Chains A and B, each alone.
Chain A
Amino acid sequence: KQEVTQIPAALSVPEGENLVLNCSFTDSAIYNLQWFRQDPGKGLTSLLLIQSSQREQTSGRLNASLDKSSGRSTLYIAASQPGDSATYLCALTRGTGTASKLTFGTGTRLQVTL
């Protein structure tokens, strides 16, 4: 059974710091990996998606990397801002077509302080 772990569970950093969120998984047979952002009382917003054949994806201040062989992904946030405060979830896609399903990590709750 695929297990997805995110460390740390919570993180507090001062504004302006660069930070790294970690996601580890046990089964390397994945099709892609996504990073989501979840704000309190709201749904999930997809931030970045890395195909299994890719090593990284970038969007603005966000950079996500994927190392299937070691079962790890990282989300790098540059120059953090208070607006980045949210819970960040990684999710793996297993299977294709009708069998395609997401397996979510446990999440990292990020607080960026002034």
Chain B
Amino acid sequence: NAGVTQTPKFRVLKTGQSMTLLCAQDMNHEYMYWYRQDPGMGLRLIHYSVGEGTTAKGEVPDGYNVSRLKKQNFLLGLESAAPSQTSVYFCASRKTGTIGQFFGPGTRLTVL
């Protein structure tokens, strides 16, 4: 099993460009999460999903959209990137009835 994978690993955008980050998990987990990690602030929850076709806002959802069309994939979109969205983005998944979240390796995004 690959666990949780994220694509791409690195990306540089110009202000105003759009992009989509892909998170994929092969563990048949119901829950999926997107976090961002900034220096000195820990990880903060952007959006999450409790199952296929559902999404919900986390702590810092502004400027991001998500979709969960397939159970194994959770997409994070930036419609118009801003320098404030420069961060490391982590995806995680969790199985219903369990506590532990499994994390992907992260995507480092720089917005110029």
Tell me whether A43 and B58 are in contact (CB under 8 A): no
A4 close to B50 (CB less than 8 A): no
The A contact surface, by secondary structure, is strand
Q: Which chain B positions have C-beta within 8 A of A105?
A: 42
The answer to whether A101 touches B42, judged by C-beta atoms less than 8 angstroms apart, is no
Q: Are B41 and A41 in contact (CB under 8 A)?
A: no
Q: Shortest CB–CB separation between residue A3 and chain B, in angstroms? A: 10
Taken together as a complex, chains A and B put the C-alpha atoms of A31 and B99 apart, in Å, by 10
Q: Which of B33, B48, B99 has the most CB of A within 10 A?
A: B99
- Interface residue count for B (Cβ, 8 Å)? 21
**Cβ contacts A to B, 18 pairs, < 8 Å:** A4-B42, A34-B100, A41-B105, A41-B106, A42-B106, A43-B103, A43-B104, A46-B101, A49-B100, A98-B50, A100-B99, A101-B45, A102-B45, A102-B101, A104-B35, A104-B43, A104-B44, A105-B42
Report whether A104 and B42 are in contact in the complex, using a CB–CB cutoff of 8 Å: yes
Q: Name, among B35, B43, B50, the residue most crowded by chain A CB atoms within 10 Å (CB to CB).
A: B43
CA distance A95 to B37 in the complex (A): 22
Chain B residues with CB under 8 Å of chain A are 4, 33, 35, 40-45, 48, 50, 58, 90, 92, 99-101, 103-106
Which chain B residues border A9 with CB–CB below 8 Å? 40
Count of residues in A whose CB is under 8 Å from the partner chain: 23
Complexed CA–CA distance, A10 and B103 (Å): 23
CB-based nearest A residue for B100: A46
- Please judge, given known A-B contacts A32-B99, A104-B42, whether A43 and B48 are in contact too, CB under 8 Å: no
Provide the residues of chain B in CB contact with A98, threshold 8 Å.
50
Q: Which B residues are CB-close (under 8 A) to A106? A: 40-42
Chain B contacts for A107, CB-based, 8 A: 42
